[in-house]
Structure 1
């Protein structure tokens, strides 16, 4: 089960969603403080976190998977979002410098294919940042938020998935220690919860943020079509002498 674009929009319009956005956005800004002259791609439902990049990055776009739906962003001006098949991103190879994946990996039906597509469009030296629900956190257990849907992750699970997809984790951050309830007195103390959580129980954060670099020294698998052609050539028999009429088999 996953949330569609309307559910996600409504969540970020609530006080709890605004608190979550602010706390995660702070960590994203710490990891990527300067995007001047870079092409930035947001995948999944990353638009709440792309707004700070507008006017700074060379290019900012948001792509949303077909099963989730798409909405216009930003609200004013030219639309920078599009609906895509996550297994085949409509972008040229090595065209993006930064890729931010939010509300995407945990709901994907083809995680490794999605990550290989990101690897393809990411430029050498580019960076991928993923925000996912923490398996140990309280947010992953509450379905009233988007982080309570899909597959939560541990740090070791993300590391293995990234390495299998030719990425190398380079930095880790955590966020969302305030309990996931729309209780205003609780939300007003969110900053105190964040400070205490980072010091006392960092393993129980609501989300995990990981930045990863593209491994360009690994062998790149051939596309499926090329693999089939190569395999056919490898097993094709060598030409043989023309058989005599009595040995020749009738053709279909």
Structure 2
């Protein structure tokens, strides 16, 4: 069962949520820069991390699964968020140059089908970052946060899932080394610097970047597509290269 949109919003408004936004958002920005002139999609609950792209990207869209609910985003201007069926995204093929998937895989009833849709709407030269709760980290057990629900993943498990959807892992990074307790949110930066050097496997979140495979494609089941929904209201330095399939 997915976390409700109100729960997600409340978490990212808290001090611990603000720290998580800063630590994870930094990794995404290091990988993609400003995404200038590109079409960017956030799938799941990605709005805390999309704001930095909105000014320079050609198009920025936040797609939120129906079971989760949707919020108006951004609040001060034309709405760019829409409610979607995660197994039949309302976008044409190969539309997006960059896709960020966060708070999406862990609680999906069918992660493989969700990623097949990511493959479909990703441009041939596009890049996707999948952010998931890390199996070895403390955050996987923090039920008071959105990261403490659903299925956590190891690096090997996430790489295998991506390859099943014909997305080839190209690099990975980690974030959230601070303990998931509110009174330590102010020390998140210190933990982030120390943890990445001293205990790299015990991060709270694993981020893996992948590219679209466009060769030796398997036959895909045809689904009825829906018309794209109009919003209701108006090499990356942190991504380490190498064998992403190793534990």
On whether the aligned pair clears a TM of 0.5, the verdict is: yes
| CA deviation profile, 1:102-140 (whole Å, cap 9, x unmatched) | 100111001111101110111111011011000000000
Rounded Cα–Cα distance in structure 1 between residues aligned with 2:81 and 2:8: 15
Rounded Cα–Cα distance in structure 1 between residues aligned with 2:96 and 2:79: 18
Check if 1:165 corresponds to 2:165.
yes
The equivalent residue for 1:103 is 103
The equivalent residue for 2:29 is 29
Rounded Cα–Cα distance in structure 2 between residues aligned with 1:197 and 1:145: 20
| CA deviation profile, 1:195-226 (whole Å, cap 9, x unmatched) | 1100010100000011000001122414347x
The equivalent residue for 2:191 is 193
The equivalent residue for 2:11 is 11
Rounded Cα–Cα distance in structure 2 between residues aligned with 1:81 and 1:110: 22
The equivalent residue for 1:64 is 64
Rounded Cα–Cα distance in structure 2 between residues aligned with 1:105 and 1:164: 14
**Counterpart contact for 1:177–1:205, Cα < 8 Å:** yes
Rounded Cα–Cα distance in structure 1 between residues aligned with 2:222 and 2:25: 38
**Structure 2 length-normalised TM:** 0.88
Q: Which runs of 5 or more residues in structure 1 are unaligned?
A: 226-252
The equivalent residue for 1:204 is 202
**Counterpart contact for 1:166–1:218, Cα < 8 Å:** no
Larger Rg: 1
- Higher RCO (C-alpha 8 Å, min separation 6): 2
Over 3 Å counting, the alpha-carbon distance change for 1:133 and 1:95 in structure 2 is same
CA RMSD between the two structures: 1.3
Aligned residues: 224
The equivalent residue for 2:86 is 86
Rounded Cα–Cα distance in structure 2 between residues aligned with 1:59 and 1:73: 14
**Structure 1 length-normalised TM:** 0.87
Q: Which runs of 5 or more residues in structure 2 are unaligned?
A: 224-247
